[in-house]
């Protein structure tokens, strides 16, 4: 047990009060940041889905153009073959050209059926993209508003955190460096609670009883006493 002054005990308690608020405010701000990240991720996922919908639309638009282009080529071939039919001189040539016309017409029928399917798919994709863009714009606006509101609510907490950090630094300057280092170490081990009161021989940090002789030393307030169970620095809570 290291001898310390009662003023050191008072200073440690004040230091703990500041530390408790710092930990609380950091937790609040951390939670807000996580929520902001969560809703931003939601928008990102929606944006990814919208991008995929646009890609699907672009793919079917290309398929439509390709089908239309091939149909036009086949139409030109049919016209040319029909013109050549009037100029053939042998039956064999005539039959060959007829077969070409027939093959091209069959191919055109297949392409026109595919084009109708592509156009139907294109219409559905355009509807999906249009709806997705509207939903995305609405979601983006909602999230932007939510994040702005979160930012406003955090202003006071951020200012308070800065004040407590400055206050803690000022308080710490009046403590022995070894004592300050001990405080920081215990605080890190116990989620920000390095100094805790003892009420009726019970540590208010871990709620375990401390030995009677140790409780007497805590009441005297002239020694640096640590809880045997949780290692927190103890001070006596005067309930009179």
Q: How far apart are CA 55 and CA 43, in angstroms?
A: 18
pLDDT at res. 176: 87
pLDDT at res. 177: 87
Task: Tell me the per-residue pLDDT of 182-233, one tens digit each, with 9 for 90 and over.
Answer: 999 999 999 999 999 999 899 999 999 999 999 999 998 888 999 999 999 9
Question: What number is the average pLDDT over the span 158-163?
Answer: 93
Task: Tell me the per-residue pLDDT of 48-85, one tens digit each, with 9 for 90 and over.
Answer: 999 999 999 999 999 999 999 999 999 999 999 888 88
Task: Tell me the per-residue pLDDT of 92-147, one tens digit each, with 9 for 90 and over.
Answer: 888 988 899 999 999 999 999 999 999 999 999 999 999 999 999 999 999 999 88
- pLDDT confidence of 152, banded at 50, 70, 90? confident
Length, in residues, of the chain: 240
User: How many of the other CB atoms lie within 10 Å of CB of 117?
Assistant: 14
φ/ψ region of 162 (left if φ > 0, alpha if ψ in -120 to 50, else beta) reads alpha
CB-count exposure of residue 192 (10 Å: 0-12, 13-18, 19+): middle
Judging by DSSP bridges, how do beta strands 195-199 and 202-203 pair with one another?
antiparallel
Its pTM stands at: 0.65
All structural domains of the chain: 25-173 (1.10.287.1490), 176-240 (no CATH)
């Amino acid at each position: 047990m290291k001898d310390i002054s009662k003023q050191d005990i008072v200073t440690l308690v004040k230091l703990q009060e500041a530390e408790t608020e710092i930990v609380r405010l950091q937790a609040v701000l951390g939670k807000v940041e996580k929520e902001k990240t969560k809703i931003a991720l939601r928008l990102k996922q929606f944006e990814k889905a919208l991008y995929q919908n646009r890609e699907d639309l672009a793919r079917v638009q290309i398929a439509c153009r390709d089908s239309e282009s091939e149909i036009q080529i086949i139409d030109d071939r049919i016209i040319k073959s029909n013109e050549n039919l009037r100029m053939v001189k042998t039956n064999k040539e005539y039959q060959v050209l007829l077969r070409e016309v027939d093959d091209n017409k069959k191919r055109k029928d297949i392409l026109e059926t595919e084009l109708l399917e592509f156009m139907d798919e294109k219409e559905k994709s355009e509807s999906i993209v249009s709806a997705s863009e509207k939903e995305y714009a609405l979601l983006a606006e909602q999230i932007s508003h939510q994040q702005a509101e979160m930012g406003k609510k955090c202003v006071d907490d951020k200012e308070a955190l800065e004040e407590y950090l400055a206050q803690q630094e000022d308080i710490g300057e009046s403590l022995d460096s070894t004592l300050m280092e001990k405080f920081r170490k215990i605080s890190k081990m116990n989620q920000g609670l390095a100094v805790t009161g003892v009420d009726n021989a019970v540590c208010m940090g871990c709620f375990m009883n401390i030995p009677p002789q140790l409780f007497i030393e805590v009441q005297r307030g002239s020694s640096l006493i640590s809880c045997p169970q949780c290692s927190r620095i103890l001070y006596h809570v005067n309930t009179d």
